[in-house]
């Protein structure tokens, strides 16, 4: 007899052609809970293997991904429409992050001694980071390998089992990643995938067996996921997109800045959470920058250099932002309203767009960019930090010290200098944002700790003579000695 869960299914489509790529089950809450229960059992086995055994298996999984790189990239291209080169690059970066997580988990998370301080001179203090258990990952469609694996790889390396709910637009990629993992870890279901629509993700977030949720998506959806997590006090790491800015200082390499701005804005059809959506150029180099940018933008080939808009509804968001920018006095120096021709959007470069327009304030997630002339880099920074998002950003400057000062002043989780989105390719750097861009971190040591719980242990090695202070047998003399010691150690005022 066929169950209701088995009957319900949905198709993933190629956004460029509309062709069916695959058909997948719509897992309901019961199916999700069953997966979480299996993951709980697998998590206990996986954690018990220890760092070295997990490292070997994850490095073997890395080799499996390399052997199937073409297969993965091909499926990414089919489900997202992006060029095969971009799909390949995404998979390559994923492999480097998996390698880093596997090789560094022991160093970051294993037990180590910490100083107990003078008052704890009779104690041995240790700190370690233990697995959480089952981690639920809710992934996006724009980078269906790189982004979710930024959580999955680090969660697995930290000793957890993972239940992954991929986007309903790219479910086949998620299924393939888990299928390939079983080649390296066949004994238990350490890495599972549940497929479906929003209700499947909601069921995963609300399941009491999940110890943490890693979510990537819109700010509005993140709030709904947080509400589901709240019922069980399930912690969450959220990456919610951005409105990243690129600042071009007066002494910047203008040609390099324009090339980076174009790639950051247009690659993957602008469907990049850390893509460039705003550019602020100091007036002395503005004209030269615009010449470089417009010349390059007009040479971009829609459908070849980047693919279609993967999520059909997003074309209307892009259209609304372009129309609003033009209605409020902005100028389209490349493209315009006619550039939106679903499922494709041609490059759009807008200037003189008011800062209160949706094209400046809201995430567009399309191949559009606004450029504004500013009097100084300081003005550029004020405008950069005036939006509610704070994910990534870029600074181009010929002065290394000034560039670093500007990068540090940028209200974002990551900043690239004289390059674009380069921080995402450095496995040791944490990735995440502030404000409406979310909270928590993936990647790097912070990403490993994000999927572990700190465990602190203090062991008394011997009693302190004459200092029995945590007992009802303590004497006034002992308390007097304690006060004198604290006064000696900490009583001096320092200015």
Q: Residue 251 CB: number of other CB atoms within 10 A?
A: 16
d(CA 321, CA 362): 8
Q: pLDDT tens for residues 85-136?
A: 999 999 999 999 999 999 999 999 999 999 999 889 999 999 999 999 999 9
As a whole-number percent, the residues of the chain with pLDDT over 90 amount to: 95
pLDDT exceeds 50 at position 464: yes
pLDDT, residue 2, reads 35
Alpha helix (H) ranges present in 363-475? 377-384, 400-409, 444-450
- In the chain, count H helices and then E strands: 16, 22
pLDDT exceeds 90 at position 495: no
d(CA 224, CA 211): 18
pLDDT, residue 467, reads 84
pLDDT, residue 494, reads 80
Q: Report the mean per-residue pLDDT for the chain.
A: 96
Mean pLDDT of 324-341: 98
| Residues written for the chain | 495
pLDDT, residue 468, reads 87
Lowest mean pLDDT of 27-31, 126-130, 139-143, 461-465, name the range: 461-465
Closest CA to 242 of 276, 212, 213: 276
Mean pLDDT of 25-30: 97
Q: pLDDT tens for residues 227-264?
A: 999 999 999 999 999 999 999 999 999 999 999 999 99
CB 293 within 8 A of CB 258: yes
Place of tokens 């470069």: 349
Mean pLDDT of 25-44: 98
Q: How sure is the predictor about 7, in pLDDT bands with cuts at 50, 70 and 90?
A: low
pLDDT, residue 465, reads 85
Who's near 189: CB < 8 A, 6+ residues apart? 35, 38, 39, 42, 161
What token pair was written down for 460? 């008394």
Q: pLDDT tens for residues 47-85?
A: 999 999 999 999 999 999 999 999 999 999 999 999 999
Lowest mean pLDDT of 36-50, 265-279, 472-486, name the range: 472-486
Q: pLDDT tens for residues 216-228?
A: 999 999 999 999 9
Who's near 110: CB < 8 A, 6+ residues apart? 51, 128, 129
**219-230 helix and 198-206 helix, angle to the nearest 10 degrees:** 40
What token pair was written down for 117? 């301080």
pLDDT, residue 93, reads 98
Mean pLDDT of 332-341: 98
Paired strand residues for 394: 246, 416
d(CA 357, CA 353): 7
Alpha helix (H) ranges present in 68-125? 69-80, 84-109
CB 213 within 8 A of CB 234: yes
By three-state DSSP, how is residue 418 classified? coil
For 213, the enclosing helix (H) or strand (E) is strand 212-216
pLDDT, residue 378, reads 97
pLDDT exceeds 90 at position 433: yes
Q: pLDDT tens for residues 183-208?
A: 999 999 999 999 999 999 999 999 99
d(CA 361, CA 356): 6
Q: Residue 63 CB: number of other CB atoms within 10 A?
A: 13
Show the CA angle centred on residue 424, arms to residues 418 and 425, nearest 5°. Answer: 85
Q: pLDDT tens for residues 93-103?
A: 999 999 999 99
- For the annotated catalytic residues, the residue numbers are 239, 273
Mean pLDDT of 378-389: 98
**In 3-139, beta strands by DSSP E:** 9-13, 20-25, 112-114, 123-131, 134-138
pLDDT exceeds 90 at position 275: yes
pLDDT, residue 3, reads 45
pLDDT, residue 65, reads 98
As a whole-number percent, the residues of the chain with pLDDT over 70 amount to: 99
């Amino acid at each position: 007899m066929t169950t209701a869960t088995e009957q319900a299914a949905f198709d993933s489509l190629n956004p460029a052609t509309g062709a069916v790529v695959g058909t997948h089950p719509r897992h309901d809450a019961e199916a999700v809970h069953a997966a979480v229960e299996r993951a709980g059992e697998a998590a206990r086995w996986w954690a018990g293997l220890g760092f070295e055994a997990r490292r070997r298996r994850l490095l073997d999984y890395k080799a499996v991904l390399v052997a199937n790189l073409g297969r993965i990239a091909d499926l990414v291209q089919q489900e997202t429409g992006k060029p095969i080169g971009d799909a390949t690059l995404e998979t390559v970066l994923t492999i480097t992050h998996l390698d880093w997580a596997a090789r560094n988990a022991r160093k970051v998370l294993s037990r180590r001694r910490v100083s107990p301080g003078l008052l704890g001179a009779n104690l041995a203090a240790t700190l370690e980071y233990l697995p959480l258990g089952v981690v639920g990952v809710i992934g996006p469609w724009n980078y269906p390998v790189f982004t979710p694996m930024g959580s999955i790889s680090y969660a697995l390396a930290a000793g957890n089992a993972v239940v992954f709910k991929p986007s309903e637009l790219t479910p086949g990629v998620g299924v393939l990643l888990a299928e390939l993992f079983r080649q390296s870890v066949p004994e238990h279901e350490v890495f599972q995938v549940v497929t479906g629509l929003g209700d499947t993700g909601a069921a995963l977030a609300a399941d009491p067996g999940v110890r943490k949720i890693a979510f990537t998506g819109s700010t509005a959806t993140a709030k709904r996921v947080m509400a589901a997590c709240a019922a069980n006090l399930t912690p969450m790491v959220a990456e919610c997109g951005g409105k990243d800015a690129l600042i071009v200082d007066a002494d910047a390499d203008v040609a390099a800045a324009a090339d980076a701005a174009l790639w950051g804005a247009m690659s993957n059809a602008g469907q990049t959470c850390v893509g460039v959506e705003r550019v602020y150029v100091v007036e002395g180099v503005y004209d030269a920058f615009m010449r470089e940018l417009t010349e390059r933008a007009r040479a971009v080939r829609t459908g070849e250099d980047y693919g279609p808009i993967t999520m059909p509804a997003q074309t209307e968001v892009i259209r609304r932002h372009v129309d609003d920018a033009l209605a409020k006095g902005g100028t389209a120096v490349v493209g315009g309203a006619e550039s939106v021709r679903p499922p494709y959007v041609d490059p759009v470069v807008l200037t003189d767009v008011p800062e209160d327009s949706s094209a400046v304030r809201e995430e567009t997630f399309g191949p559009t960019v606004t450029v504004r002339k500013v009097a100084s880099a300081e003005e550029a920074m004020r405008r950069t930090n005036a939006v509610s998002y704070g994910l990534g950003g870029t600074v181009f400057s010929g002065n290394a010290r000034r560039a670093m000062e500007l990068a540090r002043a940028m209200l974002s989780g990551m900043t690239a200098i004289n390059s674009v989105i380069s921080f995402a390719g450095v496995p040791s750097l944490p990735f995440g944002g502030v404000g409406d861009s979310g909270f928590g971190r993936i990647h790097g040591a912070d990403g490993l700790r994000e999927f572990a719980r700190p465990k602190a242990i203090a062991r008394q090695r011997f009693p302190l003579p004459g200092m029995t202070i945590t007992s009802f047998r303590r004497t006034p003399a002992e308390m007097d000695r304690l006060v004198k010691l604290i006064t000696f150690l900490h009583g001096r005022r320092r200015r």
